[in-house]
Structures are given as structure tokens and as C-alpha cells.
A and B are shown apart, each in its own frame.
Chain A
Amino acid sequence: MRHAMDDDEAIARSLDGDLGAYEALVARYSALAHRTAAMLGAGDEAEDVVQEAFVKAFRHLSGFRRDAPFRPWLLRIVANETHNLTRARGRRSDLAVRLTAAADPAAPDDPAGAAVATDRRARLLEAVRGLPERERQAVVCRYFLQLSEAETAQVLGWPVGTVKSSTHRGLARLREEVGGELA
């Protein structure tokens, strides 16, 4: 098998105009980009947003700092495109996700406990949906997308301090909404 290109090599080749290398990069980050767009509010236009983001990323690739990680740089463009979309729609962005119907892996032998856990998850998701925009974005980036504080700051274009405070406020509000105790 051919060795898999790492990001840096794919970026270098893309900068030389190798669209095949860029295709590899797109394929590698496609799922994450869609997930980010959907979670930041692109809704059923996530595919559109992602394509646009990848096209823009290619056109701005020469401005990418090669010693920096590609992932947050790309997700920043995805987040910007999503933001432009929701702003153009003139309404609040929605957290366009749904809970999978997967059984609770933690309690396979305890249907009642699983039902309670499922209910709690649904309530928690609703509570995240209901958060003020900035708190929701911070919580989504930190926990649903599992980005670091620094990555979240880069993706959302905020100072790290704002990420910290928004996350903290969001968590506090969630606790009020669904309670701190685990079911």
C-alpha cells in the first residue's frame, strides 16, 4: 500500500496545485467538517457550507502557517461559513443533531436504568440547545467536538478567556437546568 500522506505533505502538494492531494485532505476532514457545521447551526445546509469551506480553504491555503495544525484552521473557515449562513438567514442557529438510537453501552442489563439515562441525555441535549448562543457554541466546541480551549478560541475567533468564561457560564446553566446528579 502507498503510504498515507500526512497533513503537511498533502498541504505542500496542494500548494503545488496537486488537486489529488487536496482531495485526500478533504476526504480526511470531511466528516469532522460536516459535524462542526451541523453542530454550529448549518442545519440541512451543512453539505453546502462544508463544500464552500473546502473551496475557500484551498484558495487561502497559501496563507496557512505550515507550522500550525490544519484542523482548527479549517474548522475556523467552516465556522465562519456557518456563521455567514445563519446570519444571512436572519435567525438563530440551531443545534442540528439528533440522538442516535444506540443502546446505552453502560447498562446493557438494566433496561430501566438505561431508560432513565436516555431520558437524562435527551434533557441535557435540550438544555444545551436552549443555551444562549455563545455559551452553546463554547459547550458544543469543547465537549461535542472535543476541541481544546485554544482550538475553540481559534475556531470561534474568540479570546481564550472568552471561551473559558462562556464555557463556565454554560456549564453552570446546564447544571441548573438538568441538575448536577448523574442518574
Chain B
Amino acid sequence: MSSHDPFDDLEAELTALGDLLDTPSPPPPDVAAAVRARLETPSPPPSDAAAVRARLETQPQDSARRVRRARWKVVAAVVLAVIAVTAATPQGRAAVARVLRFAGIELQLADTPPAPVRTTANLPGERPVAPDDLPALVKFPIRTPSELGAPDHATIADQDRVVSMFWPDGVRLDQFQGGVDPFFFKQLGPPWPDYVQVAGTSAWWIPGEHPLGYIRRQDGTEVPLRQAAPTLVWQRDTLTYRLEGAGTKERAVKIAESLR
């Protein structure tokens, strides 16, 4: 082609223009580290409930998932758990609009506030133990928020997989090995959970009172526990924490960050 061929000139011009176009991107090592962090996070094995939700997943919810994922982009480098927001209108909980699985806690989001739980129940196999005995009784490292000091009393439950600590002013901290199958579920309506950070990692603040229950590991049955106070949920390593009764979001985050 001769250089007077207008197409040829235009092609050269477009190539030169391309070189002048700015497409910012983060430092490659950061991207690599973020991708690695995601690959190192085990994805939850599909439970029956998840399979039902997956089948029901449709385009509008896919869009919602995208939007939500974009919001988490900023913390991608420190991703602890791949959070799957899946459509959820399985049988028996038709009012649930979306399910958020976060670190062993399933947040069932509905457009209207769920009916409160009037009863209270204990976790499966929950029994009181002396706080000092906890490290010897469970397989994971026990952490205590220095902000609160030593707990007043403690329990362990679910074959020693869930530890709960209690303080006199109504604060309760649950810690358990999560991240795979959800163990707790929370039924939420507006106000929606609020995304926050705890020591640089992702966390959710659930601002309103809400029904709390657990999902039986054997068969996935949902067992209501009680009406829970505003709660902060977060994850550290493979452990999930839920802090209830701290009052404000700010105090909850402060307590969470003091975990030692």
C-alpha cells in the first residue's frame, strides 16, 4: 500500500492515537497479589441450598451481584472470602431477595423487615465453660478484645467449634471456624448491612435488630435462635467473628480491632 492510500494513513493514525491513550491500571504486583489472595480462598462447596439458589439465579440478580462486587473492589487486595451474592427465593423463604454468604454467616436480605423471633434458644450443645479453659478446649486460637478485657463468662457449642464470650454490659463475641459452610444465618430487611473495615479487612455492620439462627451442619435445617442486637461480622484468617451488643458501629469496630 502506498503512503497516500487514505486507509493506510488512517490506520497509522489510529495506531499512533492508541499509543497516546491513557488507561490507568494499578501496579501489576498489587493485581497479582489480589488475584492470588482470591485463589487461596477456598470457595464454598455447593450445598443443596446453594444449588437451589444457583438454579434460581437470573439476569437481574446477576446485575446486582456485579454492582455489589464493584463495591468490594477496594478491598480486593485483602479479600478474605469470596462473597457470593446469589439470588434466593427458595421454597419456604420466598421473601428473601438476596443471600450474602460471608465467612460462615449467611445474610438473608429481604425487602421488608422479617418478623422478629420471640423465643430464645441455645446453640446446639452449648455449655458453659471457664474462660481460662477455652484454649485447651478448642482447636483454634482464642482471641479476646483488649478493649473489653477478660469476659465475664463463656460457652462452647456445636462440638466445640463455636466459642461465645460474654461481658456484663451485654456484649457478646462469637468466634468459630467459618468460611466454608455457613453456620449462622441472619434474616435482614432494611436498614441494609453496612460495609466497614476492621483492621483493613472487610466486615459487615448489621445496624438493626434481626432474627438470628443457625444452620444445622448435618442437614442444613435452619433453627431460629433469638432476636439479635446490632452486630458486626468479620473474618480473620479462617475464623469468623460476630460481635453483638456493642451499641454503635464505631464502638464495635474499635472492639473488633482490639482482638488479640
Contacts and interface: CB of A to CB of B under 8 A. Distances in A.
A106 to B, nearest CB: 9
Interface size class of A (residues with CB under 8 A): 35 or more
Contact of B22 (A47, A89, A97, A128): A97
Contacts of B36: 19, 22-23, 26
Interface stretch (A31-39, A63-71, A107-115, A156-164): A31-39
Interface in A23-82: 23-24, 26-28, 30-31, 33-35, 38-39, 45-48, 50-52, 54-55, 58
B39 A19 contact: yes
B79 to A, nearest CB: 9
B9 interface: yes
B35 A23 contact: yes
A139 B15 CA distance: 10
Nearest to B60: A88
Contact of B31 (A30, A38, A102, A121): A30
Given A98-B22, A144-B14, A174-B10, A28 B70 contact: no
A51 B76 contact: yes
Interface residues of B, number: 36
A125 interface: yes
A182 interface: yes
B221 interface: no
Interface centre among B25, B29, B69 (most CB of A within 10 A): B25
B26 A47 contact: yes
Given A27-B28, A30-B25, A124-B13, A45 B20 contact: no
Contact of A99 (B20, B33, B70): B20
Nearest to B66: A88
A39 B22 CA distance: 10
A144 B19 CA distance: 7
Contacts of B66: 45, 84-85, 88-89
B70 A45 contact: yes
A46 B26 CA distance: 10
B14 A48 contact: no
Given A23-B33, A45-B70, A50-B31, A34 B38 contact: no
Given A99-B21, A124-B13, 19 more contacts: A24-B32, A27-B28, A27-B32, A30-B25, A47-B73, A50-B31, A51-B35, A51-B73, A51-B76, A90-B63, A97-B23, A102-B20, A121-B17, A124-B14, A128-B14, A143-B11, A146-B18, A171-B10, A175-B10
17 contacts: A26-B35, A26-B36, A46-B25, A47-B26, A47-B73, A48-B69, A50-B31, A55-B35, A84-B66, A98-B22, A99-B21, A124-B14, A143-B14, A143-B17, A144-B18, A144-B21, A175-B10
Interface of A: 19, 22-24, 26-28, 30-31, 33-35, 38-39, 45-48, 50-52, 54-55, 58, 84-85, 88-90, 96-100, 102, 121, 124-125, 128, 139, 142-146, 171, 174-175, 180-182
